[in-house]
A = this chain, B = another copy of it.
């Protein structure tokens, strides 16, 4: 019935792990991990049996787990010959394994060392061991037995991407302190855990930490490097560390008397630098590496000064490559084609590769034959230039250096995870589709808290067929599996909540990263975006708290609770700061003070969370919370500042401030400044309830009565008293049947505008200076939209509510006309036009609001004109006229050097306009403001002007250049932009047939 692994078998000396004497040493090392895993599951420790191929037969009665590799030893061949396995299925392939169970034995036969190891770790997963088990001390669910059946038999695939790994970076203060305390340094004891994590996540490649350590020397000595080699971990070094030499090394070794000279300058100190590289290759060239070539300046800076021309730089790099290739031939392998090499086209090096009109770049340079060209994202998860069709056949292939952590301009992100799977999926599937398949490396900072996106990244690289572009639901599906793997002990229902928590907090953090949060990001009032986000944060935090209380589970704490709490607490803190400042400016002294108190609580909570992280689980994460993350003023933490809080004294007299929530409209309604407010809720035909908020902003209590057209509404309170420092929300519902009456009384615009007066009671106060006299207009939309097509967005705004009160100018800002806009989620199109297999497709959960619309296949371009996929939006207008159409798109970078990332747009019947979402001189990089705004806000808003006619219109948006993702569309009368906010106006009324 299959192969049985069980406590009982192990106790009897069965289920022993059989490895071959002549096999890979790494396989024997990994057998130890398997022992650990099986003991954890079954409570019994199995034995390892190291045998010759011949000797393997002697354990046949012991239900052996036979681990062998086709490329070393004789056991695999012997099994093949005996017909137990079909070795041909894997021979010559990369990193594959046969996994085959019989009643008597389990065969794990790799095509090579990593193949066998992945097969062995596959078994671990099958018995319920998480790939994060070692790294995070995740204990599997105890079982008595697991049966492996024929259904589990498999021949694994070749990994989709050849080199798949991560980069520990920006390791101070978090990883560095953690590592020093736990392991005494960046040594092999530490890397043993890192390598195990990498391999269990099906990676095979890594760059070590580099800011204060020397990987090939701190093992001690080569210990770390040799361990990597044994385990099949291919080492690289960071993009600016050529020839197996770390940047820190030169800092230590240089000097006036040094044999390496005293200048990181290939022009002035060629001999010293060459010798430095030579000794690096001599030391580590015999191990499995992807050797970085090329050269950059020290500390991640430019290689030549500002005076140097592009030509100087290109020439220099060409010389460098020549020298490095010669050294590699001499010390690593005469056949350069057999030495994996990589050059990073990162920051300024990208320009050296492409050259310009004057200087031919390094593209096509013979010294780059066989060298993998490593491209990169913009440090914020957006790919930069991708290979054009012609470039894609470069014989060294392409790599991608991606960032889940970044220490640099405009604002670093290196504290807790703020990476969101749908974005990673969208970008890395594009990378793959554009032919970037040789090497994927991701900067994971301190690793800790990035385990979730890192797992996804490496699984995507390993099995693109499963998680790639063809699986639109990959992020959610992956999250489901991830939660199931890590939290096997939780109920299905709880696991579903945990999925929501992971997706939820990462979405919030990706909309604005915690380090980039500040008081000016979200508007404190407009469109309720602050309130909504606070609600969301509270919902997630409460749920996380509940699960953690119930389970007391460290992995839950580490994988979900901590990054969620840490992250959302900071989001809340800044939202509270915004409310504090807003309310203080309104003299709502008590409310402001309340929010100031909440900010203080958040600051306290921030310390508590980090202290807690540093002590739980026997302090195993000490150090990991140390990165600064509050109030960045520069790109780095320097001069970072806690929130500036506002306090104000209450005005001397009683006052009531009448506010319309979701807007900044407010009035104290006194005699002279009397300004009309408009409660525009009921302009939406589907509105249920509107709210008026009354704040006490003065000293002393104050009474109010609501008068006027109160008959039309059910009003939660018609009179009352607001006590000093408090507020009351007056809920207003259209009275049943009031709609018909309103319709009969509507004006020519189809509205019936009721007026409510919020007044002081007549006998309230003889001193006219504390009189309350606020007037609120409540227009009710009585128009009949029942003949409009399903999905039509309807203009509900009105123009003429800002009327003057008898003598005095009304303060209603022209730009804040009630509902003076249409806002549509991009996914709420009325019709979608495909061209062949190409068409806009929704990426669920993507972006800042509902989702994203992207054209698949992602590599295609469409000539402006007839043959492009498009989306149609149905829009019903009240007035003919010119309108601005703001299109919210993902802050993608143009795919190619042409700097084009366009969409076509037009109202059907009019000409199509082509809008480039970036400026013609757009560039990624420090001091590039357009790019900066995009990555900070995680959006780019593009605008064009179109004529709409009164009645039904179709707004059509065409695909054009690859990479565009539509998120939201906002339409408003020309130059009458709705009030500014971070997320823009919420979606407006859309006709839906019930």
Contact = CB atoms under 8 A, between A and B. Distances in A.
Interface string A165-182: 000000001000000000
**Most chain B beta-carbon neighbours within 10 Å: one of A638, A668, A671, A927:** A638
A634 B672 contact: yes
Interface in A596-610: 596, 603
A651 B641 contact: yes
B647 A645 contact: yes
A587 interface: yes
Contact of A646 (B639, B646, B769): B646
Contacts of A585: 641, 644
A805 to B, nearest CB: 12
Nearest to A173: B769
Nearest to A626: B769
**Most chain B beta-carbon neighbours within 10 Å: one of A299, A634, A636, A644:** A644
Contact of A649 (B587, B603, B636, B649): B603
Contact of A299 (B596, B648, B807): B807
Contacts of A301: 807
Contacts of A649: 603, 642
Nearest to A768: B172
A884 to B, nearest CB: 26
A584 interface: yes
A223 interface: no
Given A644-B648, A769-B173, A668 B638 contact: yes
A534 interface: no
Nearest to A589: B642
Contacts of A640: 651
Contacts of A645: 646-648
A673 interface: yes
Interface in A671-720: 671-673
A641 B584 CA distance: 9
A822 B636 CA distance: 37
A301 B651 CA distance: 29
Main secondary structure of the interface of A (DSSP, over half): loop
A668 B636 CA distance: 13
A668 B651 CA distance: 38
Contact of A636 (B586, B672, B926): B672
A510 to B, nearest CB: 25
Query: What is the total number of copies of this protein in its complex?
Result: 2
A965 to B, nearest CB: 32
Nearest to A584: B644
Nearest to A298: B807
B807 A673 contact: no
A549 to B, nearest CB: 29
Contacts of A647: 596, 644-645, 647
Interface residues of A, number: 39
A91 interface: no
Nearest to A212: B768
Contact of A643 (B636, B648, B670): B648
Contacts of A769: 173
A301 B655 CA distance: 27
A646 B648 contact: no
A587 B648 contact: no
A542 interface: no
Contacts of A636: 672-673
A333 interface: no
A670 B299 CA distance: 16
A464 to B, nearest CB: 38
A629 to B, nearest CB: 12
A634 B809 CA distance: 12
A57 to B, nearest CB: 61
A641 B587 contact: yes
Contacts of A671: 638
A880 B268 CA distance: 40
A668 to B, nearest CB: 5
A893 to B, nearest CB: 23
Contact of A642 (B297, B587, B641): B587
Interface in A550-585: 581, 584-585
Contacts of A638: 668, 670-673
Contacts of A809: 926-927
Interface string A919-954: 000000011000000000000000000000000000
A190 to B, nearest CB: 21
Nearest to A808: B301
A926 B585 CA distance: 24
Contacts of A584: 644
Interface in A650-675: 650-651, 655, 668, 670-673
A644 B646 contact: yes
A807 B649 CA distance: 47
A651 B642 contact: yes
Contacts of A603: 649
Nearest to A667: B639
Interface in A613-653: 634-636, 638-651
A638 B299 CA distance: 58
**Most chain B beta-carbon neighbours within 10 Å: one of A173, A651, A927:** A651
Nearest to A647: B645
A798 B648 CA distance: 43
B639 A670 contact: yes
A942 B585 CA distance: 33
Contacts of A297: 807
Nearest to A640: B651
A673 B409 CA distance: 11
A584 B631 CA distance: 13
A617 to B, nearest CB: 24
Nearest to A588: B641
Interface in A296-322: 297, 299, 301
A603 B651 CA distance: 12
A604 B212 CA distance: 56
Contacts of A670: 638-639
A603 B671 CA distance: 26
Interface in A754-777: 769
Nearest to A636: B672
13 contacts: A297-B807, A301-B807, A584-B644, A587-B639, A587-B642, A596-B647, A603-B649, A634-B673, A636-B672, A638-B671, A638-B673, A641-B648, A642-B651
Given A587-B639, A642-B648, 12 more contacts: A173-B769, A299-B807, A585-B641, A596-B647, A634-B673, A638-B670, A641-B648, A644-B647, A645-B648, A646-B646, A647-B647, A809-B927
> Which 3 pairs of residues, A with B, have the shortest CB-CB distance?
A642-B649, A587-B641, A638-B670
